[in-house]
Amino acid sequence: MAVILVALGAAVGAPLRYLVDRAVQGRHDSVFPWGTLVVNVVGSLLLGVLIGGAAVGTVPGSLVNLLGLGLCGALTTYSTFGYETIRLLEDGARFPALVNAGVSVVAALGAAFVGVALAEALWA
């Protein structure tokens, strides 16, 4: 059953990633990959809330499978982050590449920590 829940979540997360990325990137006339940054930070925040909720016994494992592993796993994208950072470097946009690498890692990890803290504050 867990595999089916993960697959269902991923079936929503992957197209959602594409649509959010295109919508966000379409609003910015910039080489910076804003869309990927947004999906990675939002997905990390949601995963943090789910994991924090599961840790205090409020969020069931089936919901973690569906939304955490499935949806968030497909919504967030480390491979695209890596590709876009390398592409920026190859295009000579060194500063945006360094900013993307630093901000993406710090913001996504920070969002995950905030999500866990938020869940624990709400449900503990």
Binding-site annotation: residue ranges for Na(+): 73, 76
Dig out the tokens for 74 from the structure. 């497909």
Token reading at 3: 């595999």
Annotated binding site: 73, 76
Question: Closest by alpha carbon to 46, among 105, 118, 102, 101?
Answer: 118
How many whole angstroms separate alpha carbon 119 and alpha carbon 121? 5
